[in-house]
Structure 1
Amino acid sequence: MEKKVILVLNCGSSTIKFSIINFKKKIFLKGVIDYLKTSKVCAMWTHLNFSKEIFYFKKKITYKIGLKFIFNLLKNQFKKYYNNIIGVGHRVVHGGEEIKKTSLITKEILIKIKKSSIYAPLHNPNNLLGIKNSLKYLPHLSDKNVAIFDTTFHSTIPKIAFLYAIPYFFYKKHKIRRYGAHGINYLYITQKSAVLLNKNIYSTNLIICHLGNGASITAIVKGKSADTSMGLTPLEGLVMGTRCGDLDPSIIFYLYEILKIPIKKIKKILMKKSGLLGLSEINSDFRILEKQYKDNIQTEISIKIFCYRLSKYIASYFVPLNGKIDALIFTGGIGENSGLIRKKIIKKIQFLGFKLDKIKNINNNFQKNSSIHQEKSIPIFVIAADEEKMIASETFKILKNCEQK
């Protein structure tokens, strides 16, 4: 076994993912705690020969309890990995405008992450918990923690795409602008797509749909982010699990001024009670909604709205690409696993030159990283998200640079 390994922590809005990865991007151990803060909580671990061991919790658990469980599991059951950890890589959603690259975590960086929590209230606080618990349970690696930011990949977006049509003062003074998210996976998918297309990454034009509980879409021009759907915060853009996505701001005024709903409650409604959950009035989990698609009218309309909104975005992103696209990519939990969603979306945008292979689309739920298009079509790929490998790679680079100084 490669002795030097990285522990990757990815504390999302509803999950905690972790991996043990070496510098060759080989995964030795991988796990996820899913359904956090719900009555259905389980932790699934995949290791070595990728056999699965599942731990079920009897009660709801918090991020703090979940992180403690992970570190204790590593220390007690997986010592051979635990003892060879040389650093910890953390996914952080928002770095604000000041942080434009992967950074060794210092007190100054922690302050900036906390400051940027206002832009990513469902993520940055959880990311900070991951960092603080890493410092607590692995104190000997206190100077070997690295933050990889989702926003840095989108730092190449031009002003015409990231500025809002509000007084310029708010950008100059308060840095209110489009920042985007899911950048770590977009970087990984861009690199992977270039390989599949047999093209140089800096001549590759893509539209990438990252579809999960949090969903976004990005236009990639010559290997770099040119536009993306999430904005100042991850609330803007597509319909998501519990987030509303694009919204007329006057709705907020109406809720507050006419319906007299307190601003804190409005914030909770838009972030945690809207999206697929709000539309379906059943659940935010797409796996559950898809099973009821043909039997429940409310579920059907919520899925159709999800697809309609995404289809409009795909069509609009032909503009930053100047009509020159090498491939359309689906990634993320929904993008990778829902043949229904892919089918409905491609049907709406087939006039742009996309033709779906129905058999490949169905089979792709079991075979990732392959094409689902017909021969005479703009290429369409399904590529499994792998933020963890990208985080590990970036962490190794930073630690190596520190050693050489």
Structure 2
Amino acid sequence: MTTPLVLVINCGSSSIKFALVDEDSSEFPLEGLAERLNSPEAVLRWEQDGEQQEEPLADADHRQALEALLPRVQAYAGDRLAAIGHRVVHGGEQFTAAGLLNEDALAAIRAASPLAPLHNPANLLGIDAAQALFADLPQVAVFDTAFHQSLPEHAYRYALPIELYQQQRIRRYGFHGTSHCYVTRRAASLTGLPVDTSGWLSAHLGNGCSSCAVQDGHSRDTSMGFTPLEGLVMGTRSGDVDPSLHAFLERERGWSAQHTDQVLSRESGLLGLSGLSNDMRTLEQASSEGHEGATLAIEVFCYRLAKSLAGQACALTRLDGLIFTGGIGENSALVRAKTVAHLGLMGLAINDDANRACVGGNSGEIQADNSPRILVVPTNEERQIALETLAAIGAEKER
């Protein structure tokens, strides 16, 4: 019996990332990216069974890009195409799991758009286009925030006047939920531990970064908050800063709140600290050649990560392992070693040889003898979205 296929769509403001996911295969038979949409340089690139192809789509919008993409998906998948799973960044407090897209769900996603003004409207563009082209196919929204809806109130509430929570729903939401969910379940599988009786610290490190404490399969604390700007140092995002910084910069430099947000989101982080790049690979090379800014950026990045992980251990009743994932987490032995060096009080220590060997998509344990587990686990958000899509469809059929 052939397994169903799920098309996973991740829409940005000017791009569409997609993958056709077979639950029984570790490889995606079809995946690609439509980028630079709404410009003369718009293009669709995809890889099908290992062969790379592309098609110019000058001035194409999201609908036109999907019109070019979806017939290829349909031709390849045939009657095995069971559903489309859409990544949606923000589900607010309404969504604690993936949900079948209907009018109520779409209204709720639109209502959450003020919480993610750069992301949810783009996600909705993809949903609207896919529904118009595949009206009879089940479509599911999978939310970055849903996994963190299990945070206890003492972890998600800010110490602000209560009406700001009651009226504007200002609280900590957390993001990267599909990644933290996937890698903690994968880590449990790799180590032979039950998901529902294990505790993990997870570090998702890419251009965006977050940490998460996962107890018995549920998120109990995470570093990102009301927006993805809170928490760790990231590629161009500052992470945590003093809340009075906005007022100080307004007084001293005449900056508007919007300009300060722009600087904190796009000109800070690794880029701002180093004065060179937001790419950890570039910084590691520059640091090895004596670039002081690059060295400082790496040191701050690793210390702030370790500090976050140590703090989130408070949310766990047991620690079965620390997980590194994401582009930096999976490939930077230096970042892993420097981060763990700050966590000696927790008994964590790296095996240098195992650490250096675990790059390029390899998973494995890299801890020294007598240390709690330290794992490198490649993330697979597309697969997690596909699994949650199938689960949502199954739950709907059982009603």
C-alpha deviation, 1:195, in angstroms: 1.3
Paired residue type of 1:209? A
Give the 3-state SS of the residue equivalent to 1:207 in structure 2: strand
Structure 1 contact 2–22 (Cα < 8 Å) conserved:
no
Structure 2 contact 3–24 (Cα < 8 Å) conserved:
no
Question: 2:178 matched to 1:184?
Answer: yes
- Range 19-28 or range 360-369, more displaced: 19-28
Equivalent of 1:207 in 201, 207, 210: 201
CA distance in 1, matches of 2:304, 2:183: 22
Structure 2 contact 4–81 (Cα < 8 Å) conserved:
yes
Q: Hey, what does 2:123 align to over in structure 1? A: 127
Give the 3-state SS of the residue equivalent to 1:90 in structure 2: strand
Q: Structure 2 length normalisation: TM-score?
A: 0.89
CA distance in 1, matches of 2:80, 2:245: 53
Q: Hey, what does 1:305 align to over in structure 2? A: 300
Paired residue type of 1:94? H
Question: 2:263 matched to 1:269?
Answer: yes
Q: Hey, what does 1:241 align to over in structure 2? A: 235
Q: Structure 1 length normalisation: TM-score?
A: 0.87
Structure 2 contact 330–361 (Cα < 8 Å) conserved:
no
Question: 2:294 matched to 1:294?
Answer: no
Over the matched positions of the two proteins, sequence identity in percent amounts to 36
| Residues 87, 78 of structure 1: alpha-carbon distance in 2 compared, 3 angstrom cutoff | closer
C-alpha deviation, 1:75, in angstroms: 2.2
CA distance in 1, matches of 2:221, 2:27: 32
Give the 3-state SS of the residue equivalent to 1:227 in structure 2: strand
| Residues 306, 370 of structure 1: alpha-carbon distance in 2 compared, 3 angstrom cutoff | same
- Range 293-302 or range 158-167, more displaced: 293-302
Question: 2:153 matched to 1:153?
Answer: no
- Range 203-212 or range 394-403, more displaced: 394-403
CA distance in 2, matches of 1:260, 1:14: 32
Q: Hey, what does 2:31 align to over in structure 1? A: 31
C-alpha deviation, 1:378, in angstroms: 0.8
C-alpha deviation, 1:316, in angstroms: 1.4
Equivalent of 1:368 in 354, 362, 373: 362
CA distance in 2, matches of 1:110, 1:367: 36
1:95-174 matched pairs, under 5 angstroms? 95-141=91-137, 144-174=138-168
C-alpha deviation, 1:25, in angstroms: 5.8
Structure 2 contact 44–57 (Cα < 8 Å) conserved:
no
Question: RMSD across aligned C-alpha pairs, in angstroms?
Answer: 3.0
When the two structures are aligned, how many residues end up with a matched partner? 397
Q: Which runs of 5+ in 2 are unaligned?
A: none
Kindly provide the CA deviation profile for residues 121-161 of structure 1, in whole angstroms up to 9, marking residues without a partner as x. 343233223223322443443xx210011211111111111
Give the 3-state SS of the residue equivalent to 1:226 in structure 2: strand
Structure 1 contact 332–384 (Cα < 8 Å) conserved:
yes
Paired residue type of 2:300? I
Kindly provide the CA deviation profile for residues 235-291 of structure 1, in whole angstroms up to 9, marking residues without a partner as x. 100011221110111101112233221222222222222222222233323333333
Q: Hey, what does 1:22 align to over in structure 2? A: 22
Give the 3-state SS of the residue equivalent to 1:181 in structure 2: coil
Q: Hey, what does 2:372 align to over in structure 1? A: 378
